[in-house]
């Protein structure tokens, strides 16, 4: 089974508010992107890696891969204007014999082999995809014009993370149509009737959105 990791790193990082795109903001001694890139490259589950880089940052992405001796990186493509567009561009680099795509947010630096194994396993059991998720710790409300309209039952609700794994054929079909409103890959696969399994997520897969998140992830390194 040939597994292609698509590492989407093309976002601007507006909410982080740095001078560089989020993937190139410092985490420890290196750019944030270095951490997930090194972890995917070292994973025995991953064969090849495509990075969707921020526009203008393709060359620094390749140089970073070289510095890390991340030899599985086969391309740094220019990301699109949305996450879904960036996934589509990266997916186009996967050759026809690529069987599985594992899509991961560079903004979740602390990806582990354990979670990669958990999302890959269901693909051998007839599932079209698998997503790591965590239960919701807080009470969930639906709000309309500042007023709580409803307290939503948490039964059956989870928060989805990445890496998300899919059969390449499934993912290509899902990305062949309209991408508007898609915040993760699974939503596009679900919309076409794909069977996507939920597996145990990891609190350390926290997505770096704000400066406070960056400090938390740095403290976990
Ligand atoms: N992403 C991407 N291409 C885009 C937008 C997002 O590859 N056009 C990637 C980001 O690099 C990130 C992941 O999708 O790894 C999740 O996006 P998010 O956390 O929203 O990152 P940003 O879009 O960079 O942050 P912000 O929304 O604050 O600008
Ligand atoms: Mg964003």
Pocket-forming residues, ligand 1, beta carbon under 6 Å: 8-16, 22-23, 52, 79-83, 86, 105-107, 207, 209
Band (155; pLDDT cuts 50, 70, 90): very high
Distance from the alpha carbon of residue 64 to the mean position of ligand 1, in angstroms: 19
Mean of the per-residue pLDDT values of the chain: 97
Phi-psi label, residue 79: left if phi above 0, alpha if psi -120 to 50, beta otherwise: beta
Whether the Cβ atoms of residue 4 and residue 48 lie closer than 8 Å to each other: yes
| Predicted TM-score of the model (pTM) | 0.97
What does the pLDDT look like over 51-67, one tens digit per residue?
A: 999 999 999 999 999 99
CA triple 13-116-135, angle to 5 deg: 70
Band (38; pLDDT cuts 50, 70, 90): very high
Q: Where are the beta strands (DSSP E) in 81-128?
A: 100-105
Pocket probe for ligand 1: among 7, 11, 104, the residue whose CB has the most ligand atoms within 8 Å is 11
Whether the Cβ atoms of residue 43 and residue 74 lie closer than 8 Å to each other: no
Pocket probe for ligand 1: among 107, 164, 209, the residue whose CB has the most ligand atoms within 8 Å is 107
Name beta bridge partners: 30.
27
What does the pLDDT look like over 104-144, one tens digit per residue?
A: 999 999 999 999 999 999 999 999 999 999 999 999 999 99
Could you tell me the CA-to-CA distances from 6 to 44, 95, 121, 147 in Å, in that order? 16, 13, 18, 40
């Amino acid at each position: 089974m040939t597994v292609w990791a698509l590492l989407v790193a093309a976002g601007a990082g507006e909410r982080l508010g740095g001078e560089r795109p989020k993937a190139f903001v410092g985490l420890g001694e290196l750019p944030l992107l270095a951490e997930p890139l090194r972890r995917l490259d070292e994973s025995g589950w991953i064969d090849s890696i495509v990075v969707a880089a921020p526009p203008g940052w393709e060359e620094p992405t390749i140089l970073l891969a070289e510095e890390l001796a991340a030899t599985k990186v086969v391309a740094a493509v220019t990301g699109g204007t949305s996450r879904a567009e960036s996934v589509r561009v990266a997916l186009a680099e996967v050759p026809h014999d690529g069987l599985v795509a594992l899509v991961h947010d560079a903004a979740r630096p602390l990806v582990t082999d354990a979670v990669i194994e958990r999302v890959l396993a269901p693909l051998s059991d007839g599932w079209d995809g698998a997503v790591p998720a965590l239960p919701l710790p807080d009470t969930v409300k639906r709000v309309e014009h500042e007023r709580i309209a409803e307290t939503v039952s948490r039964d059956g609700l989870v928060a989805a993370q990445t890496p998300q794994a899919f059969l390449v054929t499934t993912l290509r079909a899902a990305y062949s149509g309209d991408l508007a409103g898609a915040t993760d890959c699974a939503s596009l696969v679900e919309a076409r009737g794909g069977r996507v399994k939920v597996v145990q997520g990891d609190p350390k897969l926290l997505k770096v959105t704000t400066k406070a998140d960056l400090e938390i992830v740095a403290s976990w390194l």
